[in-house]
Amino acid sequence: MTRRLKTSLNYLFSTFLTLFFLYFAFRGTDFRSLLDELANANYWWALAMIPPLMLSHLCRAWRWKYLLSPIKKDLKYRNLFSAVSVGYFFNNVLPKVGELVRPYAIGRLEGISKSAAFGTLLVERIFDILSFLFLVALIPLVYTGPLKQTFPWLEQLGTWITVATLSVLAVLTFLMVRRDVMMTLLNFFTRRLSPKRAQFVEGISHSFLDGFLFLKEPKQYVPIGLLSILVWGLYIFMIYFPFYAFGLAQNSVLDLRSAVVLQAISSIGYMAPTPGATGPYHYFTVQTLTKLYGVQGDIARSYAVVTHALGYLSTTLIGLYFIFRDKLHITELLKARSPQELGAEGPMREP
């Protein structure tokens, strides 16, 4: 299968998922009533979600600095935030491309190994998954309604994700510490490859493991953990403030505990390979609000539309600003979609 055909199939699948979830999110909608709800919303309260959203991105950049510190100590915080913003821009346009563009952007801005930066993003995803699992574990403490009847698969999903995440974390940590074992395994699998391909596989493998070098610096554990908690705490407030835009908090229908539940379940939408979680976010948000809290369908859909649109537009515009401000040409960044582009430098040597 050629790369162009594979890319086309990925986009077709992403488009299908987007339309599929949007259909079930808006099926049976009275669009006149939906427009009325959108017209009557208090958009000052809706806009209040943007400051915690931006603060969460700033905290992500700060946490990334700790993860990258074994690679380079004096990283500029401004450049880290730029790379994070550019990554979000591309995730909004092309599904899951931002994870490949981010290390390319920080490599350009800071002159560090792009493949090594790529490895730290795996660590980020693990922290995000663990934070998501923590929220799922909190749900029974903050919600006593028909959770299992509405989302019977949620508990099983959490269990499988926990087992998979901890298994991957344990294996990769072991291989990071015992590079000799990793090299033995690599030699076994690459001995039939050409030297060029073997070098590429070795480079990509090292780049993943380099992301775990922070484990050798215990003083980094506390700030990384606190920043991870802060990121997701800000997400909860980002979910909470727009409740007031639709009169949901004032009428005691929803509170901060409801925001914890909604944040946990709507986060599942961001795991799907759609641009900016368009479609899955709307579906899981509407299902949570209507089935768990009895919110009227058109109000729930209005909430989903407004919160998604504000988050999508704000991250897209900030990402665009940094692309042009830092002269990161979009065509050049798009070439970073290929893992070969990131792994071409070969393995990073451990400091």
- Convert the pLDDT of each residue in 297-342 to its tens digit: 999 999 999 999 999 999 999 999 999 998 887 666 666 555 445 5
What predicted TM-score, i.e. pTM, was given to this entire model?
0.84
Task: Identify the pLDDT of residue 225.
Answer: 87
From CA 262, how far away is CA 257, in angstroms rounded?
Answer: 9
The model's pLDDT over 43-93, given as tens digits with 9 standing for 90+, comes to 999 999 999 999 999 999 999 999 888 888 889 999 999 999 999 999 998
C-alpha dihedral, 161 to 162 to 164 to 170, nearest 10°: 150
Task: Identify the pLDDT of residue 334.
Answer: 64
- Closest by CA to 126, choosing from 228, 9, 240, is 228
DSSP letter at 144 equals -
From CA 226, how far away is CA 234, in angstroms rounded?
Answer: 12
From CA 232, how far away is CA 216, in angstroms rounded?
Answer: 25
